[in-house]
């Protein structure tokens, strides 16, 4: 038995009790090595990813093996692995330890991959789709005219800088996961999330809305500078700024992260039951809030944000009728009809929902000339100006 992935990488000693072989870190290079060793009957106990990491020139994913009718989003793909930033609570530095922690595909490879995918919808799994701006620029340039709609994730900073985000929008970006995380500068500093410091979150939101890009805002509760008003403030901000969907998390010190080490050093970890490390439970000694307040506030936030009255309020603050409708159906469908989703999955109807998703992600029209003007981005020697 061979095991790999995030959990195994974070806790190899625990994992190897259950396996003949474990994989630490990304496996694009170590798995082929394992196959060779397996054939030669000399498999090792551990395969550790080193600095020779790449996702270029690797064999294409065997998408023919995917039962696409069972998925709402069969076209998931990766342009980059990792991220250029180093937030203390993130899995990234621990997972990519011992080698590169941000590396990319070649643009021609990813464009070929995209051109072979059925349907219009794409889902980029990248931690930070705009992390390498030059590459992202070339990707979006190449995707123009491909008639795709896609979703991805990026930082607030990358939305505010230059006009790459316009380029993304006109290539088909319709929904973006954005790591706002916290409004407190002290919390940002404590988390080494300095790239968010002194940024105008509202300007980033307006920019995305002007381009018809729906926002899935990510927020973390329980950082040391939070107190009991954090839930109300965060939810109100999301509604007032017409964030389409919100993902709330209770701060979780995943093993291997700097956050985990610092919690251990300060005697703050309260449980090692990994099942509770799901961003829904408090697993450490809190500071500005009690653990009970934090869990209750977390659940209250979800309930409050996804109340129909608040979904309506946020939807109707958009200018265009089309955006209002899209917001209403997307947010409503995301959280409000979970029971219905289970029925759709059980009767094997997920693929039939894809055209609906594509419709919700359709473009909010802009004049062609305006688009060209907005996407004129100048790059020389890898620098934007």
Structure-token match 């790449």, residue found: 54
Count of Cβ atoms closer than 10 Å to residue 226 Cβ: 26
Q: Which does 11 bind (CB under 5 to 8 A by kind): ligand SF4, ligand B12, none?
A: none
Among 10, 15, 55, 87, binds ligand SF4 (CB under 6 A): 87
Residue 171: closest CA among 205, 133, 137: 137
Among 24, 90, 164, 171, binds ligand B12 (CB under 6 A): 90
Confirm or reject binding of residue 78 to ligand B12 (CB under 6 A). Answer: yes
Stretch that binds ligand SF4, among 40-48, 51-59, 87-95, 368-376 (CB under 6 A): 87-95
- Measured CA to CA, the distance from residue 270 to residue 278 in angstroms comes to 15
Confirm or reject binding of residue 274 to ligand B12 (CB under 6 A). Answer: no
Confirm or reject binding of residue 127 to ligand B12 (CB under 6 A). Answer: yes
Confirm or reject binding of residue 125 to ligand B12 (CB under 6 A). Answer: yes
Among 10, 23, 25, 92, binds ligand SF4 (CB under 6 A): 92
Site for ligand SF4 in 47-76 (CB under 6 A): none
Whether 10 contacts 255, CB under 8 Å: yes
Confirm or reject binding of residue 279 to ligand B12 (CB under 6 A). Answer: yes
Site for ligand SF4 in 125-164 (CB under 6 A): 127-128, 155
Site for ligand SF4 in 176-235 (CB under 6 A): 179
Confirm or reject binding of residue 83 to ligand SF4 (CB under 6 A). Answer: yes
CA dist 270 to 90, 238, 288, Å?
A: 20, 31, 16
> Taking the complex as a whole, how short is the minimal distance between the CB of residue 28 and ligand B12, in angstroms?
5
| Helix ranges (DSSP H) in the chain | 6-10, 12-15, 30-39, 92-95, 107-115, 133-143, 156-160, 164-171, 185-190, 201-210, 230-240, 258-265, 291-305, 308-315, 321-331, 338-346, 350-360, 368-374
- Measured CA to CA, the distance from residue 224 to residue 90 in angstroms comes to 16
Q: Which does 278 bind (CB under 5 to 8 A by kind): ligand SF4, ligand B12, none?
A: ligand B12
> Taking the complex as a whole, how short is the minimal distance between the CB of residue 254 and ligand B12, in angstroms?
4
């Amino acid at each position: 038995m061979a095991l790999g992935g995030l959990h195994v990488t974070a806790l190899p000693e625990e994992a190897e009790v259950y396996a003949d072989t474990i994989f630490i870190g990304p496996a694009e290079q170590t798995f082929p090595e394992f196959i060779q060793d397996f054939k030669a009957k000399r498999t090792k106990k551990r395969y550790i990813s080193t600095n020779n990491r790449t996702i270029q020139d690797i064999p294409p994913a065997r998408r023919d093996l995917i039962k696409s009718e069972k998925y709402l989003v069969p076209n998931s793909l990766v342009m980059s692995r990792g991220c250029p930033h180093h937030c203390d609570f993130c899995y990234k530095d621990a997972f990519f330890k011992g080698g590169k922690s941000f590396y990319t595909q070649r643009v021609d490879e990813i464009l070929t991959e995209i051109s072979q995918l059925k349907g219009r919808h794409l889902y980029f799994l990248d931690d930070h789709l705009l992390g390498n701006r030059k590459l992202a620029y070339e990707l979006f340039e190449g995707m123009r005219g491909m008639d795709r709609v896609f979703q991805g994730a990026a930082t607030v900073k990358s939305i505010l800088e230059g006009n790459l985000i316009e380029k993304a929008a006109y290539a088909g970006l319709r929904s973006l996961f954005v790591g706002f995380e916290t409004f407190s500068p002290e919390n940002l500093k404590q988390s080494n999330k300095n790239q968010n410091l002194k940024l105008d979150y509202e300007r980033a939101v307006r920019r995305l809305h002007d381009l018809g890009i729906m926002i899935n805002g990510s927020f973390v509760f329980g950082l040391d500078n939070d107190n009991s008003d954090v839930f109300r403030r965060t939810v109100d901000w999301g509604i007032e700024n017409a964030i389409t969907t919100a993902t709330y998390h209770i701060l979780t010190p995943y093993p291997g992260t700097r956050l985990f080490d610092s919690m251990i050093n300060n005697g703050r970890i309260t449980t090692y039951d990994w099942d509770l490390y799901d961003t829904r439970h408090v697993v450490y000694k809190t500071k500005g809030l009690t653990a009970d307040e934090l869990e209750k506030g977390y659940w209250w936030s979800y309930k409050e944000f996804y109340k129909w009255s608040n979904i309506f309020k946020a939807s109707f603050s958009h200018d265009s009728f089309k955006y209002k409708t899209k917001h209403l159906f997307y947010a409503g469908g995301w959280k409000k009809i979970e029971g219905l989703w289970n029925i759709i999955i059980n009767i094997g109807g997920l693929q039939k929902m894809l055209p609906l998703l594509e419709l919700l992600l359709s473009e909010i029209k802009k004049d062609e000339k305006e688009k060209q003007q907005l996407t004129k981005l100048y790059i020389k020697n890898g620098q934007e100006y």
